[in-house]
Structure formats: structure tokens, C-alpha cells
Amino acid sequence: MASTEEAAASATETPGLGIDMALEVVTVPVSDADRAKAFYERIGWRLDADIPISDDVRNMQFTPPHSGCSVHVGKGVTSMKPGSLDRVILAVQDIDAARNDLVRRGVEIGEVYEQRPPGFESAEGTSYFRFASFKDPDGNGWLLQEISTRLPGREWDD
């Protein structure tokens, strides 16, 4: 039977670190750059750049509060179909507060639900097990996940 300790142990078994890599930007396919800009600004994400390159290309970068990874939206930035991105996870310390903030900002968001994998039914606390989802105007899916306490082994050793 799986346990939090077993999951943490397997997470630390890294065959070799190799070259440092950081997930910097995720491209979000949208159909209307201005509508996307208004949405991501409304939910409180920082606009890092809005660069019109040509009549066919406009690149915008947004960063969620305190995130190390940003998102690109715009016109002509990807061949992905608008709305095809799904289940992009946003880690939050307090999912109830995060959900309430998005509701206050006019976002249609599902109720908070708890989902535990088999073997974790008796695990202490709710970190990693509470979720709520919402979509941007194109239907790209975002999933809030409450992570209030990280599992051991979730840091890279140098």
C-alpha cells in the first residue's frame, strides 16, 4: 500500500541532476489577444510584456503572483488550438482563499473538492489533496491545488 513516506522516498531517487533546467514559460493558446489580456489582468496576474511584433504576431507574458513560471498568450504565438490546454496546475497555500479571490474577480470556478489516491485515505492534513478548477475565456483549463506543506524530497540537492 502506498504511503506519503514511500512517495517521498521515490521522489528523491534521482539518477543524476545533469544540467539545471527551469520551466520558465507555458504557452496558452487563445483566439483573442485583447480578451485574454483582460482576463489574465483581471485575475491579478502581472503583465510582464505586451509586444506587437507585426499585424500577425503579438506576444504577451503574464506571471501569476509569486510564480517562477510565466505564461505566453497572444496572436500568432502557437499553432495549438485555442482552448486545448487543460489541467495546468497552480499551487496555492490556501485553496479556499484563492477560490474566493477568483470569485471576487468574476471568475467562474468550481467548488473545492478533495481527491485522495488509494492508500492515502488516512494521510494527515489536506496538502496535495484539495482542488478547484476554472477556465479562461477560450476554455483553457486551470486547476488550483492546495499545497500547504511539501512532501520531503521535493527540493533539489546540489
Condensed to tens digits (0 to 9), the pLDDT of residues 53-99 reads 999 999 999 999 999 999 999 999 999 999 999 999 999 999 999 99
**pTM score of the predicted model:** 0.84
Measured from the Cβ of residue 38, the count of other Cβ atoms closer than 10 Å reads: 11
Residue ranges for the chain with pLDDT beneath 50: 1-2
Q: According to CATH, what is the number of the domain 23-146?
A: 3.10.180.10
Listed by start position, the domains of the chain span 23-146
